[in-house]
Structures are given as C-alpha cells and as structure tokens.
Copies of this chain bind each other. A is one copy, B any other.
Amino acid sequence: MSVEIVPVVGIGEVTDTDDIASVITSALAAMNVGLRDRDVVVVTHKIVSKAEGQVRTIESEEAYRALVAGEAVEILRRRGDLVITKTRHGFICANAAVDRSNVPQGWAVLLPDDPDASAHRIRLRLQRDHDVAIGVVITDTFGRAWRRGLCDVAIGVSGIPAILDLRGGRDMQGRVLEVTEVAVADEIAAAADLAMGKASGIPVAIVRGLDLPAVEGRARDLVRTASEDMFR
C-alpha cells in the first residue's frame, strides 16, 4: 500500500487569536480535501506555538541569548554562538529551540509548553469536526550528533505510537528481529518535511496510508534519559 504525503496549502499567518484545528480545517476545505480514518496530520510547531502565544520579543542578540538560557535546563556543549541544550521537555537541540525564522524581525518563537498536550487537543478537535480517528504529530527541525544536516522530528504526538515496538517480531527467515524499536513518529515528521519544504512555508501535511497499531504514543517516549544515553 502506498503512503501519500499531502501538503496543506493556503495557511497564512497564525496569531494567538487562532485555533490551529480550525485553521487546518479551513485550509482543507479550500483544497477540497477531507480527513480520513488513520490519517496523520503533521503540524510544524511554529504555528502551534504562535497560536499558544509562545512568542517573545527580542531587542538584541543579548536578549536572544538570555531567552535561550531561560528555555534551557542544561547546556551540553557550547561552540561560538551555538549552544546545544536540553529543553525542559527533555529534547536535546540547538539554542533551546528558540527560533527566529518565519517570524517578524525582533521576535522569537519558543516550543509549545507541552507539545504532547497540544497534539492531543488538536487531534480531539479535528476528530470531532471531521468525524474520523486520526493521529497528530507536531514537529521541529533538529540537528543530530555525527551526521550533517537537519531533519524534522516529532516533538508532540497523539493518537499513534511514537515508537513502534517490534520486540518479539520475526524477520522473513523466522529469526527474532534485531531492529525492535522504530522511531515511527520521527520518520513521519521527516516524511512530512519532504512535502512541506523549508522556504515554501507550508506548515501542515497529511500523511496517509499508514497502518499503525492503535497505541497512544507521546513524543516524550522518544526522549532518551541521561542514564540510557552514552553521548552527553
């Protein structure tokens, strides 16, 4: 079965007077696209943060650095202006995910306060308005250790597993699988980014055709604890 990724076009500027589920529903209506059962609606966090008022003014580089410091609960590394931080959600990322692109000059966007809860709210509202059972993934763009370039990852999840647990599964030869935990929400985030693009400013995509078990995942399932992590 094919998987399809449909970019949701026509979403303009979002402010804290907007409801994200309503914004998505309006855009889908204008596209004449409906939601189907098992669709996964992928939303870049920036519009969620804006709708939740997670936007701050920054009048200087110093104010930006202070904002980053306030959002970070731990500094893992520092090189020049770049700091690799742990956010209060547990995510390891550059500059505590405080972002100045796709926002007006002098402003910065923070992560949602509780992205799993945000995903859950958006899902319940979309499910009610469209009479479907879906998943929602909220994404951000993170760097990685060891590999160059950035990838979109899941920072909020609702209605699907964040990690697909194949433990006990067997391969085609009947051998117990070595790959047992697939970060499926991160793969969905990465896939959605292919249809959104970075510069084109499309903040939502529908990933359609997945066959995921009905497990309630959360993006915090993806956070490796410090004691499990060999690279801090």
Let me know if A2 and B5 touch, CB within 8 A: yes
Chain B interface: which of A22-30, A48-56, A111-119, A140-148? A140-148
Q: Which residues of B contact A231 (CB under 8 A)?
A: 77, 145-146, 231
Q: Is A17 an interface residue (CB 8 A)?
A: no
The residue that A148 contacts in the complex, of B152, B170, B172, B181, with Cβ under 8 A, is: B181
A63 at the interface (CB under 8 A from B): no
The yes or no answer to A96 lying at the interface (CB within 8 A) is: no
Q: In the complex, A77→B113 CA distance in Å?
A: 34
Q: Is A67 an interface residue (CB 8 A)?
A: no
Whether A173 is near chain B, meaning CB under 8 Å from some CB there, is: yes
Residues of chain B within 8 A of A198, CB atoms compared: 164, 166, 169, 177, 179, 182
Q: Interface residue count for A (Cβ, 8 Å)? A: 72
* 8 A Cβ contacts from A1-23 to B: 1-7
Q: Cα distance A122–B103 when bound, in Å?
A: 43
- Which of these, B6, B144, B150, contacts A145 with CB under 8 Å? B144
Can you list 15 A-B pairs, Cβ within 8 angstroms, ordered by A? A5-B5, A5-B191, A76-B230, A92-B145, A102-B171, A145-B224, A145-B229, A145-B232, A148-B222, A148-B224, A166-B198, A170-B199, A182-B193, A190-B190, A194-B207
What would 5 more interface pairs be, CB under 8 Å, given A151-B190, A187-B190? A4-B4, A101-B178, A146-B223, A147-B222, A169-B198
